[in-house]
Every structure is written in C-alpha cells, then in structure tokens.
Amino acid sequence: MNVYDDRIPRASRSRGSRKSRRRGLGWLIALVVVVVVLVAADFAARAVAENVAATQFQKQGHLTNKPDVTIEGFPFLTQVASKDISDVKVSAANEKEGAVTITSINATATGIHLNSYSFNSGVISTISGTLLIDFPSLGDTLTSEIGALGTLLNGAGLDLSAAGPDEVRASLNLLVTTGSATWRVSRVSPTELNITLVGSSGLPSSLLNSIQDVNIPIPKLPLGLTIDSVQVTSAGVVGTISGSNVPFGS
C-alpha cells in the first residue's frame, strides 16, 4: 500500500515537470520570435532613414549623384527615439564642379541631432574624412586651367604620378617634343589648391611660364566640409576634410 501511494505523487511530479519544461520552451520560442521581429523592424527603419538622409545630403551639398549613407550603431530605433544619431558614414563619387572632378569623398558624421523623427533635418556636430582627386582628374584639371598646355598636348592628356608626399611628376608628350615637370601641391585656402613648378626637363620656355604657378579652385563641398590639408599619394591628391555644427535638410 505504501509503495502504491508513493508512486502516484512521483508520476504527478513527472507530468508537472514536463508541463513546466514545455511552458518554458514556449516562452523561449515566443521571446525569440519577438526579438527577431524587433531586429527586422530596426533594420527596416534604418534602411528607410539611410535613404531619406542620402536624399537630404544630396540636396544640401548640391551633389550630382546620391551619396551612400550608412547609419552605425544598434539598436537604431532607440537612437531615433532620442533624436540623437551617434555615427553616420557618407560617401560620394565623381562630383564635378567647373574644371575639377572629385573622384571620391568619404566622411564620418558624429553627434547628429535630429529636428524630428522623420530624419528630414537636423544638425551634425562634427564631420571629418577625406577626398580624392585622382591623377586622371588632376590631369584634366591642369589641362583645362592652363590653356597653353592644353593646346600643346593636343588632347593627349598628362601622365601624372607621385614624386613625394607633396609633389606630382608629369610626363608630357607634346606636339613638338617630350618632357617632364614636377609640381609641388599645397593648400592655399579651405577651397583652393596651389600647384607650383619645382623642376622640369625638355619643356619649351614658352610653356614653362604658363605652368609656373597655378591655383585650382575646389568646388563647394557638401555638408559644409572644407579642406584642412592635402597630400600626394599613389592614387592622387588626398585632402583631409572637416566641418562642424552643419545643418542639413529643410
């Protein structure tokens, strides 16, 4: 009799334990589903915001092409709720203004304070990055800025390469001769570069006078960015750029 009585509560406890495990598993599955839904919603909202921000940045900077915008940080929706976005990457390519074509712009914006939840407008606390004017673009600019050079080149263009951290070497195949020139590249102002001839070989004196000292205006950069410094690399002329307290949107 005692054995029979002992088995009943033991079986009941076993059934109760299985029910508890099933209940716990059900709650776990439900929690996973909720998390997946919230993450998916967060990524969807981020994608929409990135598209809106790209449109606003294009308008603000008068960009020819819509830039790529990536909003960093997770979760995104909590950042929107506070109207403060911590980190946004912006990149643009092949922006032409006048004689200059900027091959690429890559910048990081931090401390973005939104005016509304729509992401249509706000203020960027700081933004910094780099721009690149590659050698083909720089060659086109020089040919356009120096009329005599363009005439003598007869559309052949310049073969440019790095000659040092602040110097560019050019091989020129002219109508009457071949030669080379070395220019020093420097920043004159936040919106202007200077190219000064520091050496040449095989070039006529009539041409040397026109390529001795050339100022190249840089087009207005998006989001209030200005050039802080420049350096010559194997890819071309790279400028560090920055801006602060930059408004965007309407």
**Three-state DSSP string of 189-216:** ECCEEEEEEEEEECCCHHHHHHCCEEEE
Q: Which residue has the higher pLDDT, 238 or 86?
A: 238
User: Residue 4: pLDDT above 50?
Assistant: no
% of residues, the chain, pLDDT over 70: 74
The two three-digit tokens of residue 110, written as one number: 């931090």
Q: Give the residue with greater pLDDT, 243 vs 249.
A: 243
> How many Cα atoms sit within 13 Å of 12 on the Cβ side?
5
Is 187 within 8 Å of 230 (Cβ atoms)? yes
Q: What is the Cα–Cα distance from 182 to 163, expressed in whole angstroms?
A: 8
Instruction: Give the per-residue pLDDT at 33.
Output: 62
* pTM for the model: 0.76
pLDDT of residue 235: 92
The position carrying tokens 């995104």 is: 76
What is the average pLDDT value for the chain, to the nearest integer?
79
Position 105 pLDDT exceeds 50: yes
Count of beta carbons in the 10 Å neighbourhood of residue 52 = 15
Rounded average pLDDT over 87-98 = 85
Of 65 and 32, more confident: 65
What's the pLDDT score for residue 99?
74
Structural domain boundaries in the chain:
1-250
> What are 108-149's pLDDT values in tens digits?
999 888 887 767 778 889 999 999 999 988 888 877 766 656
Query: What pLDDT is stored for residue 224 in this prediction?
Result: 76
Structure tokens at 170: 């050019």
Cβ neighbours for 182, distance < 8 A, ≥ 6 positions apart = 163, 167, 168, 169, 170, 197, 198, 199, 200
Tell me how far apart the alpha carbons of residues 81 and 223 are, in angstroms, rounded to a whole number.
24
Give the number of other CB atoms < 10 A from CB of residue 104: 18
Is 80 exceeded by the pLDDT of residue 11? Answer: no
> Which residues have a Cβ under 8 Å from the Cβ of 185 and sit 6 or more positions away?
166, 167, 168, 193, 194, 195, 230, 232, 237
- Residues 87-108 have a mean pLDDT of 87
Q: Which amino acid is at 127?
A: I
